[in-house]
Structure 1
Amino acid sequence: MIADLVAVVMLLAVTAYACAGGTDYGAGFWDLTAGGAERGKRPRWLIDHAMAPVWEVNNVWLIFALIIMWTGFPVLFQTVFTAMWLPLALAALGMVLRGAGFALRKPSSRLARRRLYGAAFAIASVLTPFFLGVAVGAIASGRIAPGTEASADAWATPASLLFGLLTVAGTALLGAVFLTADAARFDAPDLVGYFRFRALLSLVAVVLIAVGVLLVTRGDAPHVWHGLTHGAGLALAVVSAVFFAATGLLVLRGEARWARFSAVGTVAAAVFAWGLAQRPYLIPTSLTVADAAGDPQTLTWLSVVSLVALLLVAPAVFLLYWMDTHGELESLTESDLRRTGPTRGDTAEGD
């Protein structure tokens, strides 16, 4: 019972990171595709201002999930990080380069350095969620098990690669929706159209890749497929689909503020659907929650510490999110929004 409770807490932490961290990764994706220095100046200004207050705190959820994983389920931690050390090491490297690039880009006085740091931030914002998604795909498909040695066969499979692409598409959707709302809050109508168009593109990409993931999952991950088509897993998958449809409708109607909630609901419900679809396994079909759990006394103390941490940290983090999304923190200045020249495609996409 206590092991199941800790597993749910770990899934909650993963969900929080997928939503909060995913939004930041999505902003980095659109930074990468914004174009050259002149064309991408205004979108990148908005991305910098939108991310600056919260980008560091989003990693709290990842750290929380990892602590629960190695403390509460040491066999799971050992199995995952042994069999897939390469994609996870690349994801960790991406996190470091991404943070360094974002922190150093704005204060750099030389254009060449700003471009270098900006490229590191943008490229890492795509590669990191991709490799994290690849690892999730490998776990879901049951390619790894306790004792599995590191090998590309464990993670370089169609199912895992499609999971990675779906993760990137999901972060791009979150980023575009939130940036559309930020553009409206900062009274930048050209950027509203700019990111609204990209949100619609992301919706299409998510649909296409999700269909591919489901087709591959049926044959490559039969246990997860069964869980997604029955019981609680199916119910949450339907909830995710409803939130997804609502996101598309709200974006089309220009209601980006409300689309943020439905987009987060889409990702959160999808992550929970995946987690419940794997029951009672942490790694289908070789490692159950009970088999992976650590000492009962350790799990009890971990539950107590997790509860205290959530009571102390969660209110502060959510207050920060609320203040950021309600314009209570730093706002764009007139010089930030001043045009230096037309941005190709902004007018057409804004219409």
Structure 2
Amino acid sequence: MADLIAWVMVLAIAAYACAGGTDYGAGFWDLVAGGAERGKRPRWLIDHAMAPVWEVNNVWLIFVLVIMWTGFPTMFQAVFSAMWLPLALAAIGLVLRGAGFALRMPARRLAQRRIYGAMFAVSSLLTPFFLGAVLGGIASGRVEVGTTAAADAWANGTSVLAGLLAVAATAFLGAVFLCSDARRFGADDLVDYFRVRALLAFAVVAVLALIGLPVTHSDARYVWEGLTGGLGLLLVLLAAVCGLATVLLLLRRSFGWSRCTSVASVALTVGAWGFAQRPYVLPTSLTVAEAAGAAHTLRWLVIVTVVAIVLVGPAVVLLYRLDTMGELEELTDADTGAAGAPGDNL
């Protein structure tokens, strides 16, 4: 039963990496869109694309935390004791990001919009970096039961690389989804704008992945061996195939399917990490069985998880479907003008 709960947690992390990661990626492109005039149209698209679903995407993070502290309290204590600083910075980023996005749209003054926009955009860069750094510290075996907080736990080669990969992967997802959103909202010229950025982000992901081979070989040997053999290697190869398929689909302008393959590439990568790390939750010091809570707690956690999937799952799927079909965010005349205002400089 502990193994089942552990895999549910991995699936929830994959869901957050894909759903929340797409939002973080949109925030990254918001950050680098340029000044008020140059970035006006990309930011307009980002606002309308994210508005219906950005709060729902954070449900997966809550799910991960609940499973961790309920099903694996020893792991939860060890991680949050050793990594409290990057996790606190990520949490601050989550709050500022949400506040900035929510307050930017109704703000009327340009100065206010800039402040709120900066909060949203910068936090969208820092939060995935720190979350990735935490995962890198765990994968490298720097977190054990009783480990005290220290910079080395998350400021090391594997952690920095994992943080950069997290940022690049979210930028890739965000740009792929925004290509389809640009077409859906009638901003045809923004399709190529984000298509080029999606291809560039994928190139950065590929370069970082290649850099990661020698880094993980020397600094996270157990996980490296899991990623280069068995099911871990199979999932890595499938993730690479899905990533390359996304590039091909983008070049062919098949943006609907490119969403599916980009999500699959990220989800498979998270799954590969899960297989590479087993049977440990903290390599190589704490196994799944050792970290698991009481048996009756795990039984109730399984029941609650099944109920949550049955009750919440269909609603979330319906929400995503309605958003994809454009049923949740209607365009006003002003929006249509913003999407195609003549003379705007990209």
TM-score range, shorter chain: over 0.9
Partner in structure 2 of residue 162 of structure 1: 161
Q: Secondary structure at the match of 2:56?
A: coil
The Cα of 1:84 is off from its aligned counterpart by 0.5
Which whole-Å deviations, capped at 9, do the CAs of 1:131-173 have from their partners, x for residues lacking one? 0000000000101111100000111001100100000000000
Quote the residue 2:24 is aligned against: 25
The letter of the residue matching 1:240 is A
Structure 2 unaligned blocks of 5 or more: none
Aligned match of 1:176: 175
What's the CA shift string for 1:323-347, capped at 9, x where partnerless? Answer: 1011121133342242445344x4x
Taking only the aligned residue pairs, the percentage that are identical comes to: 65
Using the alignment, how far apart are the partners of 2:332 and 2:263 within structure 1? 28
d(CA) in 1 for partners of 2:249 and 2:17?
21
**Structure 2 SS opposite 1:282:** strand
* Residue 103 of structure 2: aligned partner: 104
Say whether 1:320 aligns with 2:323: no
For residue 281 of structure 2, give the secondary structure of its aligned residue in structure 1. Answer: strand
Corresponding residue number in structure 2 for 1:342: 343
Residue 134 of structure 2 is matched in structure 1 by: 135
TM value normalised by structure 2: 0.98
Using the TM superposition, name which of 151-160 and 207-216 deviates more: 207-216
Indicate the SS of the match to 1:135: helix
Q: Which residue of 1 aligns with 2:77?
A: 78
1-structure distance, mates of 2:210, 2:344: 34
1:141/1:220 contact within 8 Å kept:
yes
1:252 has 2:255 as partner: no
Partner SS, residue 147 of structure 2? coil
**TM-score of the superposition, structure 1-length normalised?**
0.96
Q: How do residues 1-351 of structure 1 correspond to structure 2 at under 5 angstroms?
A: 2-338=1-337, 339-340=340-341, 342-344=343-345, 346=346
**Which residue identity does 2:138 align to in structure 1?**
I
Return the alpha-carbon distance in structure 2 between the equivalents of residues 218 and 253 of structure 1.
37
Letter in 2 for 1:342: G
Give the superposed CA RMSD: 1.0
Distance 1:137 1:334 in 2: 47
Please list the CA deviations of residues 236-275 of structure 1 after superposition, one character each: whole Å capped at 9, or x if unmatched: 1111011011011111111111100000000000000001
Contact 1:42 1:337 in 2 (8 A): no
In structure 1, the gaps of 5 or more residues are: 347-351
Encode CA deviations 1:6-47: one digit per residue, 9 max, x unaligned: 101111111100000000000000000111111111111110
CA contact (8 A) 1:228 1:234 kept: yes
Q: In 1, Cα distance between the equivalents of 2:17 and 2:213?
A: 20
Single out whichever of 307-316 and 211-220 deviates more from structure 2: 211-220
Q: Which amino acid aligns with 1:198?
A: R
For 2:221, the aligned partner's letter is P
Distance in 2 (CA, whole Å) between partners of 1:41 and 1:333 is: 17
Moved over 6 A (4+): none
Q: Deviations over 1:50-91 (max 9, x none)?
A: 000000001111001100000000010000000010000000
Q: Separation in 2 of the partners of 1:6 and 1:33?
A: 39
Conservation of the 8 A alpha-carbon contact between 1:247 and 1:262: yes
Secondary structure in structure 2 of the residue aligned to 1:60: helix
Give SS of 1:58's match: helix
Distance in 1, matches of 2:152 and 2:229, equals 29
The AA in structure 2 aligned to 1:194 is Y
Q: Which amino acid aligns with 2:28?
A: F
Deviation at 1:128, TM superposition (A): 0.3
Tell me how many residue pairs correspond in the alignment.
344
CA shift for structure 1 position 215: 2.0
Q: Match of 1:270, as an amino acid?
A: T
